[in-house]
Structure 1
Amino acid sequence: MQALQEVFGVIGDLTWGWSLVPILVIFGSFITIATGFVQFQFFGRMFRVLGRGRTESGKISAREALLVSVGGRVGGGNIAGVAVAITLGGPGAVFWMWAIALIGMATSLVECSLAQLFKRADPLTGQYRGGPARAILHGLGENYRWLAVLYAISLIAAFALGFNAFQGNTVAGAAEASLGIDRMWSGVFLAIVTGFIVFGGIRRIAKASEVVVPVMAVGYILMALIVILTNLSEVPSVLTTIVSNAFGFEEAVSGGMGAAIAQGLRRGLFSNEAGLGSAPNVAATAEVNHPISQGITQAFSVFIDTILICSCTAFVILLSDVYVPGATGIDGIELTQTAMVSHLGEWTQYFMTLAILLFAFSSVIYNYYLGENAITVLTKAPVATIVLKLVVVAIVFVGAVAPNATSVFFFSDPMMGVLALVNLLALMMLFPIALRVLQDFRKQLKAGVERPILHIEDFADLDLDPKAWPKRR
């Protein structure tokens, strides 16, 4: 076991430690420039998805796909991760989180548009499946199947297994600390609810997310807004501190500007997942008229995750008396909880426990779907999906009841690093196709088409699924 941990430690160092963050930043910046700052051009269109309901065909709508992906992106990283970034990198880390989110919006738009373009209609259910693995298979060809398989294995290991154990552990720990609920009962509850959702398929996952995600996101944002409004006179000072620390004018922790950049970029990427290759799996499930439409929607998901929700956590912490620059007494989720209590009273620890439960639960069902989608790339046997459902339910339970069980899943972060590198490699090779699809979208808008439509005959040279892109008028 020790040897295995050392191997994965090296993989983690080679990905997250040396190469991945710089590549994500550089490539994200390149995409932003090469697409003509697409995330800003279509920023106004992002909000349109909120007014669109379910599809007449019964397939996943753009809004449902958005909520599932927001539910996955928004998790412990938005509460605990932001606190860790501020503790280790100072207030300036928040600025660099914002910066990487703005760049990541373009990366997410491109990767999710490609997932949409190469999606496939499931012959049994009629629902759509897609993601980087299928984009590799149908965009790059069978010669790159090995790359798609590596991607699928990494996705299952990191999200369906490792991160689900961590989510179960987070919920059970918070419930035990604030409510005194035994970990066993938390584990049983989580396992039962998870089983009910995942055995219902993508439609039930979408329905659950449509209820859970708005409640958790809006509730948390409103609570943070109360904190901000009651401390409104101090907000300009906090903003000044964030910017000053971000550029090294005001050092809050050892490492100064370098620590702020490193922590801000890393925590931002961990939180919004732009470029990591996870969210495109959900983006591909939506029924839309044009791939870029869903790409725009998923860019909005990054905005919600980091610019809105991560910022809420940051302001709650920085406006409190609990945070002391350079202090190492408390960090992570404890720092966020303590800061909220200092603003609004003891009762908020129960609100935070509920928020953590909802955040974690939405992440669990999202992580499961990523694993299910990956399994279908590796094998067509229905039993494989059933086994995965049972394994995920069991892992959520074990992660909840055994505080130290998550140490078994030390491979999660390194495998996510491999996943991201595979996804970025595929994105680089498929980027010319993404630009071509984006040009088609812009051309239709320029011609006065309010809602552009993908005409599959215009892309006859690509391996697209006619059943996934029926003719529309």
Structure 2
Amino acid sequence: MLDAINDFLSGKVLIVLIVGLGAYFTIRSRFVQFRHFGHMFGVFKESIRGQSGQLSSFQALMLSLAGRVGAGNIAGVGIAVTLGGPGAVFWMWVTALVGMSSSFFECTLAQVYKRSDGDGLYRGGPAYYIQHGLKLRWMALTFAVLLLVTYGFAFNGLQAFTVTHSLQNAFDIPVLYSGIALAVLLAIVFFGGIQRIAAVSDLLVPVKTLAYIAVTLYVIVTQIELVPGMLTTIVKSAFGLEPAFAGLLGSAIVMGVKRGVFANEAGLGSAPNVAAVAAVRHPASQGVVQAFSVFLDTFVICTCTALLILLSGFYTPGFEGDGITLTQNSLAAVVGDWGRIFVSVALSLFVFTCITYNYYLGENALQFIVGRSRSALIAFRVLVLGLILWGSMQNLGTVFAFADITMTCLAFVNLVALAMLIKTGLRVMRDYDEQRRAGIERPVFDASKFADLDIDHDAWRDAHKINSTAPAHGSLPAQG
């Protein structure tokens, strides 16, 4: 029954919502993701500079990439190619293109409606812009509960199971031992708060991403003469024009969109929770950065995995097996048996950072629901760690099926809210565009121009001083 509900929601409803509303946001914004594409690289470079005591835009990007660049980029792409053929990759690209606009608006609005958490840092996300932008507390609470259940609990158990069993297969490490080690390492990170979570992501995300891209690029380069033909096969298969994959046209579209959404998370309402923590000069600049992360996730990392699989010679139509096995064996077919070990190690890093990301989403939802309750936070951390240890030894397939349903509901609530708040998002975007057209390289958000909105004006009081080379007089103290 769960599978039937999940197939209907994620195979039909989610596709219409993600692609349909993503296209709507793209048109309404005059193709913001294309207009600002070159600008994304400049904003990304600028985001590396932070402000003492606050999280930089770069750290927020690394934190969001910790979740976006995860098992979905390895196992998810493998599943998409297995069930949908090469054409699924094309539809992943299409999903990412329209998803970049959804990500731009959800992360921009998360910045607009962010709140100071009392410790010199910020909290925000869909629950906050639903409550303060739409004045719908019940809808905001619904989103927060769905976020807590989906990411805070269910997905963490599944991720733990994935990494411990991958390590057992690669190194014959008992799942109990790897589960305990994983829980201990995560406890150190969790109890350090958002600053430590961001610091870990800041270190591990670039390492895991660059290492994975380097190895897959090696495979692509060694087979470079086959790449043009394979790209042609991907495009032709997407429209049923490749005879070997003509029967997979419907599956290519469904799997491409479904796995693409789950890989880059654009429109799901998860990334805005971490996008809101950054100290930035203008909300739209964080929207631009997060749109760039969707591009990096899908067009770079997912494409690397897809080409690795399709160029290896291991994949054949009708392949039976899971996505991890397909990726492992594809890499091993080119570089030797160490390829299987590399995929297991890469997956371990991907999963570790994913769990820290999932945990923060749950913590953010918890604080929205119950407020700044220290006892509730400690209980949540203990419960999550217990679930991770338990999940590392148990196959939580039923829990995952349920989490897929709650995540689709999460996306539904968020996308409906985005559609209702699109005028505010466009207004903020136009303010950003007007300043850039006026020659201002680093636009600043003037909250007084948006006095009609329920904004935390204290959060924007010193926006012009962020990333400034001069001392930020009156800035919040560094956290010890």
Supply the RMSD in Å over aligned alpha carbons: 1.4
Find the partner of 1:31 among 11, 18, 25.
25
Cα distance in 1, alignment partners of residues 144 and 203 from structure 2: 29
Cα distance in 2, alignment partners of residues 14 and 82 from structure 1: 21
Q: Which residue of 1 aligns with 2:343?
A: 352
Cα distance in 2, alignment partners of residues 216 and 61 from structure 1: 20
Cα distance in 1, alignment partners of residues 299 and 75 from structure 2: 16
Q: Which residue of 2 aligns with 1:3?
A: none
Deviation string for 1:366-411 (max 9, x for gaps)? 0000000000111122211111111111111111122x24434442
Q: Please state how far the C-alpha of 1:10 moved relative to its aligned partner.
A: 6.2
On the 8 A contact 2:63/2:357 being kept in 1, the answer is yes
Q: Please state how far the C-alpha of 1:44 moved relative to its aligned partner.
A: 1.6
On the 8 A contact 2:53/2:120 being kept in 1, the answer is no
Q: Please state how far the C-alpha of 1:472 moved relative to its aligned partner.
A: 4.1
The answer to whether 1:248 aligns with 2:243 is no
Can you give the 5+ residue segments of structure 1 that lack an aligned partner in the other structure?
1-5
The answer to whether 1:284 aligns with 2:276 is yes
Find the partner of 2:402 among 370, 387, 411.
411
Q: Does the residue aligned with 1:450 lie in a helix, a strand or coil?
A: coil
Find the partner of 2:205 among 201, 207, 213.
213
Q: Which residue of 2 aligns with 1:68?
A: 63
Q: Which residue of 2 aligns with 1:129?
A: 123
Cα distance in 2, alignment partners of residues 108 and 429 from structure 1: 15
Cα distance in 2, alignment partners of residues 139 and 302 from structure 1: 25
| Change beyond 3 A, Cα 1:472–1:339 | closer
Cα distance in 1, alignment partners of residues 463 and 3 from structure 2: 50
Q: Which residue of 1 aligns with 2:166?
A: 174
Q: Please state how far the C-alpha of 1:45 moved relative to its aligned partner.
A: 2.1
Deviation string for 1:423-446 (max 9, x for gaps)? 011111111000000010011111
Can you give the 5+ residue segments of structure 2 that lack an aligned partner in the other structure?
465-480
Cα distance in 2, alignment partners of residues 199 and 230 from structure 1: 45
Counterpart of 2:141, as a letter, is V
Deviation string for 1:33-78 (max 9, x for gaps)? 1101111111122223245435233211000000010110111111
TM-score using structure 1 length: 0.95
Matches within 5 A, 1:2-401: 6=1, 11-48=5-42, 49-50=44-45, 52-123=47-118, 125-141=119-135, 144-253=136-245, 255-325=247-317, 327-380=318-371, 381-401=373-393
Cα distance in 2, alignment partners of residues 148 and 251 from structure 1: 48
TM-score using structure 2 length: 0.94
Matches within 5 A, 1:379-458: 379-380=370-371, 381-402=373-394, 404-458=395-449
| Change beyond 3 A, Cα 1:257–1:440 | same
Cα distance in 2, alignment partners of residues 295 and 266 from structure 1: 23
Counterpart of 1:17, as a letter, is G
Cα distance in 1, alignment partners of residues 444 and 111 from structure 2: 13
Cα distance in 1, alignment partners of residues 399 and 281 from structure 2: 44
Counterpart of 1:359, as a letter, is F
Deviation string for 1:201-239 (max 9, x for gaps)? 110010000111000000000001100110011111111
Cα distance in 2, alignment partners of residues 252 and 117 from structure 1: 49
Cα distance in 2, alignment partners of residues 206 and 55 from structure 1: 13
On the 8 A contact 1:72/1:363 being kept in 2, the answer is yes
| Change beyond 3 A, Cα 1:472–1:298 | closer
Find the partner of 1:462 among 449, 453, 463.
453
On the 8 A contact 1:321/1:342 being kept in 2, the answer is yes
Q: Percent identity?
A: 48
| Change beyond 3 A, Cα 1:471–1:58 | closer
Counterpart of 1:163, as a letter, is F
